[in-house]
């Protein structure tokens, strides 16, 4: 159960009549920009994950636990 070329052309003509060519062009441009931004964000995320794994590989494997306090008396001693 697929669409024939004639059915697709009729649907395209109806959409074109409803929205107009200019509005469809704007929608297409906005959609293309959104896809481009999404791909760029995914690429940056992969690069950030790659940088983090490089740092993990370069570390010596030691874990240092520490506690930070804001007690002024301990700092002065």
pLDDT digits (tens, 9 = 90+) for 15-74: 889 888 888 889 889 999 999 999 999 988 888 777 666 555 555 566 677 777 776 655
Query: Do 15 and 24 form a contact (C-beta atoms < 8 A)?
Result: yes
Query: What confidence score (pLDDT) does residue 31 get?
Result: 92
Query: Do 46 and 54 form a contact (C-beta atoms < 8 A)?
Result: no
For the segment 1-11, the average pLDDT, to the nearest whole number, is 87
Over 16-57, what HEC string results? HHHHCHHHHHHHHHHHHHHHHHHHHHHHHHHHHHHHHHHHHH
The span from the CA of 57 to the CA of 61, in Å, is 9
| Ranges of each domain in the chain | 21-54
């Amino acid at each position: 159960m697929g669409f024939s070329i004639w059915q697709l052309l009729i649907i395209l003509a109806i959409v074109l009549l409803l929205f107009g060519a200019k509005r469809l062009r704007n929608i297409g441009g906005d959609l293309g920009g959104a896809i481009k931004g999404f791909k760029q964000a995914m690429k940056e995320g992969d690069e950030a994950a790659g940088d983090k794994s490089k740092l993990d590989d370069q570390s010596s494997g030691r874990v240092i636990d520490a506690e930070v306090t804001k007690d002024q008396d301990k700092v002065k001693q």
